[in-house]
Amino acid sequence: MTDNIAQLSDETSAAERIKSVYRNAGVTQSRDYVTTVNELTDQLPALQPETLSAATELIRDRISAETDVIAVEEDKGLPIGVIVAKELELPLAVARWYTYEIDAKEECQVEIDMDSEYYSGQLYLNGVSSDDRVTIVDDTISTGGTMTAMIQAVRAAGASVEGAHCVVEKCTNGGVERVEAETGVSVSTEVGILADEDGVEIVE
């Protein structure tokens, strides 16, 4: 199956490549949710350059010209954030599930509670300063816990959220709706999926 994905023609759209990845994805249980296992988010199998290019193309084209900083949570969306920030020549701020032994005030570190499909605990955002206009990017939005925490962290740093963009939406988990209800931010997505114990379905 991986060979079939890698051999998609150059004319294949970015969205179609991502859909092909998810059609071949496995599923597993993650806390209370069925989650996918695939090359884009888990590097299982290895993330192919064509897939990473497709994901970054979909995100890059959404980024406002007013953006000062790209922000990403490091667990799954980091490869996308790195490429987008490099291509747009913007600084990259990364949020992690752990902190460093630093002076948080001096280093602009913000701590926010987070409860997502994968993790419940604290999220630590570094590298966002007051008055920055920040665009948050990620691979997937599921329950909206990560994106909500990211938005709260950006605002706690004194910055504004210029935009929020994800490649994939797990449509039945209510993440887009939760983020808008709790933060007022509308998250854009490119590919919708449904995941259950039988596998993954693309929402066309």
Q: Which residue has the tokens 């990403």?
A: 72
Predicted confidence (pLDDT) per residue in 62-78, tens digit: 999 999 999 999 988 99
pLDDT > 70 in the chain, percent: 91
**Domain at 2-203, CATH class:** alpha beta
What residue ranges do the domains of the chain occupy?
2-203
Q: Rounded mean pLDDT of the chain?
A: 90
Q: Is 85 a residue whose pLDDT tops 60?
A: yes
- pLDDT, position 179: 98
pLDDT > 90 in the chain, percent: 71
Q: Is 5 a residue whose pLDDT tops 50?
A: no
User: Sign (positive/negative) of CA torsion 20, 16, 14, 78?
Assistant: negative
Q: Is 183 a residue whose pLDDT tops 90?
A: yes
Q: Is 3 a residue whose pLDDT tops 60?
A: no
Q: Is 163 a residue whose pLDDT tops 60?
A: yes
67 to 4, 82, 165, 166: CA distances (angstroms): 37, 15, 13, 16
What is the rounded distance in angstroms from the CA atom of residue 41 to the CA atom of residue 106? 33
Length reported for the chain: 204
What is the rounded distance in angstroms from the CA atom of residue 52 to the CA atom of residue 58? 10
Predicted confidence (pLDDT) per residue in 96-146, tens digit: 988 877 665 556 789 888 888 777 889 999 899 999 999 999 999 999 999
Q: Which residues pair with 166 in a beta bridge?
A: 138, 189
What is the rounded distance in angstroms from the CA atom of residue 134 to the CA atom of residue 91? 10
| pTM, entire model | 0.89
